[in-house]
Structure formats: structure tokens, C-alpha cells
Amino acid sequence: MNLFDVYPLYNITPVKALGCKIIDNKGIEYLDLYSGHGVISIGHTHPEYVAKVKEQLDNLSFYSNAIQNPLQVELAEKLGKLSGLEEYSLFLCSSGAEANENALKLASFHTNKSRVISFENAFHGRTSAAVATTDNPKIVAPMNAQQVVTFLPLNEIELVEAELKKGDVASVIIEPIQGVGGLDQGTTEFFQALEKVCNQYDVVLILDEVQSGYGRSGKFFAHQHHGIRPDIICMAKGMGNGFPIGGILTSPKFKPSYGLLGTTFGGSHLACAAGISVLEIIEKEKLMDNATKTAEYFFEAIKVVPEIIKVKGRGLMLGVEFDFDVSALRKKMIMEKHIFTGSSSNKNLLRILPPLTIKKADIDTFIVALQESLEELK
């Protein structure tokens, strides 16, 4: 049997990792500035995380959501405290797409409407409704296209309000910082106005924090930089440091009922153990502070690279933009300089999503390698 060939692969086989470093099967060490799409939040194989997951594996890895699971309660309490959103409720699932899918479904139940407002260059996942709200026709199958979605530009609140006035919109879904789309983001003025008009027209405001959440922006959730309180917040990537876990936080306006939402694997004992450990380490090691301070250093230090036309993003969710396609540059950085970075739908942009444990010395290593690579490509 062959693998279904849907991923273009680099000829690199990682076998071990620690902190911000990855080692392949040839013994080559790589600096990880991408975290596997922003998944590794507390660093690879953090010893306390590994111990917590191993301990839980020795006891009980999984049973259904039909029984008591105190670990879910503990995870919810720790998450509420660290995020400052203790009045919200937690529903656990297994991925970011599943989180967004449940958010869109819950919004539709709540409003009894179906149309969704999304934004240009958005990415919300690959499942049925989530992919329909993703601004990439290449990955939207005909059955997904049955969803009624309107795409609007960022930062144009008048266009949003004009759509909400029509009375058929269930929800607005938006990333605080676009990931796949290339690190663009709404202004504080836009987000605050968006919250206001959604409340005015009884439309559910969904913040997709799948990539930007869990301390990556320097606050627990990136929307908190704008002082807003969304109706639903979607989470996943950084939640389990590589263990599949996702979830939505719902504001008190939503009333649960048996069977409203459901999942087989979401909130398993093993997933919760991973999630609890991540929260404890983020708090204990002050990783949100590290994200802020390291980002400040990055923005200043990167100025020595004149080829960069713009640095985008916030915290440790960053992009460096050039006036040329960076495909060759990214490949050289990986294969010759042994540094992982990411791509986006903006072909001129390198995405930087390191573990939140990254050090300033690692940023220096990246900048030197970037300068060398640019010179060698001339």
C-alpha cells in the first residue's frame, strides 16, 4: 500500500527533538522556527510534559465522554484562569478544523440562520463548513460550496454592517492574525467595531485562535490585544504541544443541551493530561512574556536585513516579506542552513512560528543564516 500523495515533502526525516532543535536520521541538527505549523508551544519533548503524558498513559489513555473525567474539569479551570475567561464554557474536540466546525454549527443553532461572513485570505480548516469559510477555491469541493459564505476585505466595517443588515447572517468568523493568509490582521478599531455590530444585529462573533492562541501573540489569545469579548473562541494547535487536542470557548449566551455537540476522541484522558501540562508550563516559565520580549528583539534585530520590505504579525507569530518569491530562499534555509521556516499564500513571505521557548541567540542564528542565504542567491 502507498501513502495518498497529497504532501510535497522535503527529504528530511526527523527522529528526535528537544526545545527548539530537531535532529534527523543523519544526525543533522535543525533550528525549528516553524513548530510544525505553530503546534509546538512549550518546546519539543519538554521533560515535565513528557512525564505527565507518560504517567497518564500508564493509568488510562481513553474512555468515552459518557463517564466522569476530572481531567476535563481541571483543564477547564486552569484554562479559564490563565486566559482570564473564567465565565466561558469549554467544549473539547481534537483539531482546529473540528473546533471551527463546532463553532459555526453552534452559531447556526443559536441564530437559526446559515450565512457566514468570512474574510479575504482566511484559512479556517479543511472540513465541510470550515473549508467553505476558507478563502481558497482550490480546496473547496462542490459539496462544501453549498455553504453560503460571503468573503469581505479586512478593516472595512461598513461592508460588514451592510451584510449584517440583511438579517440572514448566523456568524462572523475571523482570525485575529491570519496564518496561512500571510500575517495580515485587523486593526483594534476594526475589531471593536466588529464586536459592536455583531451584538447589534444578534450575529455570533467567532474568533479563530487556532494558530494565534495559547500565548503565541504575547497575550493568551491574540484578540485580547484589542479589548474585545467574542461569543466563541476556537483553539487547537498550541494546546497539546503535538498531541491532538482542540476546543471552543463559549460565552454565557449559549445554553448547552444533551446532544447539541459531540465528539469521540475530544477531551480524552491523554489529551487532557497533555493540555494541562502545556498550561502549567506556559504559566510557570512565563512563556507569554518570552513571546513578547523575543518579538521585540526580533523586530529590532531584523532591521540589518535591507532586503526585507515588511515584518508582519505579533509576538511569535511573524512573517518577513520580500519583493520576490521566497521558495528558493526557504529551501536553502532548510536544506543548507538547517533552519525550518514556513510558507503562506503570500509567496513573498517567510513565516516564523517558533516554540515559545525560543531564545534571542536563536534569532541571531536565523538572521545570520538569512543574510548568508540572500547573498548566496544573488
Give the tens place of pLDDT for each residue, 243-298: 999 999 999 999 999 999 999 999 999 999 999 999 999 999 999 999 999 999 99
List 232's β-bridge partners, or say none: 206, 250
In angstroms, the CA 213 to CA 217 distance is 7
Contact predicate 71/273, CB 8 Å: yes
CA atoms within 13 A on the CB side of 231: 28
Residue with cell 459592536: 196
One-letter amino acid at 175 equals E
In angstroms, the CA 288 to CA 286 distance is 6
Contact predicate 124/208, CB 8 Å: yes
Residue 294 confidence (pLDDT) = 98
Q: CB-based contacts of 14: which residues, under 8 Å, 6+ apart?
A: 22, 23, 24, 25, 30
**Residue closest to 214 by CA, chosen among 368, 85, 30:** 85
Instruction: Using DSSP bridges, classify how beta strands 317-321 and 349-352 pair: parallel, antiparallel or unpaired.
Output: antiparallel
List 208's β-bridge partners, or say none: 234
Contact predicate 32/252, CB 8 Å: no
Residue 105 confidence (pLDDT) = 98
In angstroms, the CA 264 to CA 127 distance is 16
State if pTM tops 0.85: yes
Angle between helices 269-284 and 47-59 (to 10 degrees): 160
In angstroms, the CA 336 to CA 258 distance is 54
378 has pLDDT over 90: no
Rounded mean pLDDT, 366-377: 97
Rounded mean pLDDT, 149-178: 98
Reading the block at residue 242, the C-alpha cell is 503535538
Residues recorded for the chain: 378
Give the tens place of pLDDT for each residue, 199-251: 999 999 999 999 999 999 999 999 999 999 999 999 999 999 999 999 999 99
Angle between helices 269-284 and 70-83 (to 10 degrees): 30
One-letter amino acid at 215 equals G
Confidence of residue 306 (pLDDT cuts 50, 70, 90): very high
Instruction: Using DSSP bridges, classify how beta strands 14-18 and 204-208 pair: parallel, antiparallel or unpaired.
Output: unpaired
Contact predicate 366/339, CB 8 Å: yes
Strand order in the sheet with 204-208: 89-93, 246-250, 232-235, 204-208, 169-174, 115-119, 149-152
Please provide the average confidence, as pLDDT, over all residues in the chain.
97
In angstroms, the CA 88 to CA 101 distance is 18
Residue with cell 502507498: 2
SS3 labels along 193-233: HHHHHHHHCCCEEEEECCCCCCCCCCCCCHHHHHCCCCCEE
Rounded mean pLDDT, 56-73: 96
In angstroms, the CA 246 to CA 249 distance is 10
Instruction: Using DSSP bridges, classify how beta strands 115-119 and 149-152 pair: parallel, antiparallel or unpaired.
Output: parallel
65 has pLDDT over 90: yes
193 has pLDDT over 90: yes
118 has pLDDT over 90: yes
